[in-house]
Structure 1
Amino acid sequence: MHVEQLEIFVETIQLGSFAAVAEKRRLNATSVSRSVQNLEKQLGIKLLQRSTRKLTLTEAGEIYFQQVQPILQRLNQAQQQAQDIKQTLQGTLRVTTPIGFAESQLVPLIPKFRKQHPELKLELLITDECLDLLQQKIDVGIRIGNIEEDNWVAKPLLELCFIACASVEFLHNHRIEQPQDLQTVPCIGLIPHPNAQHWCFKKTQTDTLLEEIWVNQELLATHEQAAKQLCLAGQGVALLPHWLVEQEIHDGKLQEVLSDYQGFYQQSEAKIWITYPNREYVPAKSRAFINFLEQEFR
């Protein structure tokens, strides 16, 4: 039997279907199904119960899966350690990152990283979905908010701060001198944040917390990028992460309002994290990328 057959079998259990494995490996589902069937023939046992709705492990399949999975992990680790002896990093580095952070912060840094490691292939999985690092074979993840997975290592990368901002055109027509003014001017809300229609402010110098402000949200968006574009179009004031709008503020396309105050959402995420699977051995390619991020955002 081939190692690839074992990998396909394990991935089928982890991902739940032949179609998901086929999509990941860029094969057709028939080839994936045939690979598992060939493995069953070689073993002389049935590993999977197949139905139109789902795949389930047989009793023998469960035992086999529990034994094979750690063997494959140790094999991958051995291969990685052997490759790390080389002076140049090679192979593929898989990184997952939220959409907004990727566009405004990470992607502009990629050319610099690739110049340092030209033989290393890079796969960017840009999504706001919290992908499973182990199942998806992801080397490094960037996540916003609380990290609850026990099998992840998490290192803080950035404190998450918010900036209330609007376009220059919008501010020509609206006066905003104190947080209470946001109750009467058009505002752009972010649906995913807790208590999205309540914005909190505290004095920057005194750190005095003010009451939550029920802002006049005339527009709501599920994504921060959309809220930023609406803000640039002069549609209202938005409370957005600093890393998402700092360039636009620097270029004069957006202007910070209420600069004497710090705005935030109640119970909002406090940090941006670098995450990676909790393993005995961290590959050199992962360490290089983590060190690069820490250096760039120091």
Structure 2
Amino acid sequence: MGEIVYQGSFAAAGRALNLSPPSVSRIVSDLESNLGVRLFNRSTRRLALTEEGQVFLQRGEAILDEIDALREMMRARHRVLSGRITLSSSVAFGNELLPPAIAAFLGKHPGVQVQLGISNRTVDLIQEHVDIAFRIGVGGLPDSTLQAIKVLDYRLIFVAAPGYVSAHGCPTDLEELKGRPIVKLFTGSWGHVHTLQTPDGPVEYRVPEGFSVDAFRAQLGAVLAGHGLSLMHDYIAEPEISAGRLIQVLPGFQTEPQSVFAVYAHRHLMATRIRVFLDFIREWFKGRNTPTRGAAVPDESL
């Protein structure tokens, strides 16, 4: 309407809008029919707004100005990140590796708030309004509304405290583990049997009973106390190995790499803060990925 008033005729407005005069006339007629009022008084010589047309044009232009302001505000929110990101993570990964990464991200983007829920339960991203869930394996993503990117790989490795190695010696194969004290980490059905890659090929290793725990912190505490050696997630063990509090034993015997994925709901227009966070997390963990020789197997322990 504004262009018609500015140009003074349907024909001139059509040329400005790259529309034919009949098309402009039809659009106005349809709008008048929909509103139930006449917007223009028109004759072969003269075109003028009715009183209703003046009100409609004034209010319409004000609404369009508000839409433009809202659009600019949304663009500004994308330039300066703000809003909340809701995360879900399995226990060990969420406790050990995510907090430093989240803290570094918030240091760069202080306008963002992050809410992290830690649980071994598989959350429903859509129903529970979770933006990103960190999972071990993705099971082929049967839900077509979900997508995933790999964050990092990890393995289970054998470790022991220096005092344990001094007292019991360092084993050189699985046979030498028989009769030794072992700290076993398990969660439900996971953790009782592991497939190990060995110099002679893959073998099934049944972890002996003895001291069994269902929390990685209890496992780490028992191993640090010298109670026994253990199969431990490498990212839990690595800081202790670097500090000299643990030693990796049987380095030729470890599990295949498992993969941690960031799973998120597929959206045509993803909020910029979520996209930037995904890129940041992928880059943060990029340096500690190890090459994967086979498909990731879901690991329920995290």
TM tier relative to shorter chain = 0.5 to 0.7
Deviation, structure 1 residue 171: 1.4
Q: 2:279 is aligned with what amino acid?
A: N
1:281 lines up with 2:275 in the alignment: no
Structure 1 match to 2:259 = 271
- Aligned 8 A contact 1:99 1:126 in 2: yes
1:185 lines up with 2:180 in the alignment: yes
Compare CA radii of gyration and give the structure with the larger one. Answer: 2
SS at match of 2:203: coil
- Aligned 8 A contact 1:186 1:217 in 2: no
- Aligned 8 A contact 1:164 1:263 in 2: no
Q: 2:192 is aligned with what amino acid?
A: Q
Structure 1 match to 2:238 = 246
- Aligned 8 A contact 1:98 1:142 in 2: yes
TM-score by length of 2: 0.64
The whole-number CA distance in structure 1 between the counterparts of 2:278 and 2:244 is 32
SS at match of 1:202: strand
- Aligned 8 A contact 1:239 1:263 in 2: no
Structure 1 match to 2:74 = 83
- Taking the TM superposition and a 5 Å limit, the aligned residue runs for 1:11-30 are none
Q: 1:154 is aligned with what amino acid?
A: A
- Alpha-carbon distance change, 254 to 138 in structure 1, aligned in 2, over 3 angstroms: same
The whole-number CA distance in structure 1 between the counterparts of 2:236 and 2:72 is 37
Unpaired runs of 5+ residues, structure 2, are 1-69, 287-302
CA-to-aligned-CA distance 1:166-198 (integer Å, 9 cap, x gap): 111211111212122222211122222756333
- Taking the TM superposition and a 5 Å limit, the aligned residue runs for 1:32-181 are 83=74, 85-86=76-77, 87-147=79-139, 148-150=141-143, 151-175=145-169, 176-181=171-176
SS at match of 1:211: strand
The whole-number CA distance in structure 1 between the counterparts of 2:133 and 2:165 is 38
The whole-number CA distance in structure 2 between the counterparts of 1:126 and 1:254 is 26
- Aligned 8 A contact 1:183 1:215 in 2: no
Structure 2 match to 1:290 = 278
Deviation, structure 1 residue 149: 4.7
- Aligned 8 A contact 2:150 2:282 in 1: no
- Alpha-carbon distance change, 159 to 290 in structure 1, aligned in 2, over 3 angstroms: same
- Alpha-carbon distance change, 140 to 223 in structure 1, aligned in 2, over 3 angstroms: same
TM-score by length of 1: 0.65
Structure 2 match to 1:35 = none
- Alpha-carbon distance change, 159 to 81 in structure 1, aligned in 2, over 3 angstroms: farther
- Alpha-carbon distance change, 84 to 105 in structure 1, aligned in 2, over 3 angstroms: farther
Q: 2:88 is aligned with what amino acid?
A: T
Unpaired runs of 5+ residues, structure 1, are 1-78
- Aligned 8 A contact 1:179 1:201 in 2: no
Q: 1:212 is aligned with what amino acid?
A: E
- Alpha-carbon distance change, 258 to 90 in structure 1, aligned in 2, over 3 angstroms: same
Q: 1:128 is aligned with what amino acid?
A: N
- Aligned 8 A contact 1:144 1:273 in 2: yes
Q: 2:193 is aligned with what amino acid?
A: H
The whole-number CA distance in structure 2 between the counterparts of 1:167 and 1:296 is 29
Deviation, structure 1 residue 288: 1.0
Structure 2 match to 1:198 = 193
- Alpha-carbon distance change, 80 to 184 in structure 1, aligned in 2, over 3 angstroms: farther
CA-to-aligned-CA distance 1:213-239 (integer Å, 9 cap, x gap): 334331112232322222122221111
Q: 1:162 is aligned with what amino acid?
A: L
Deviation, structure 1 residue 81: 10
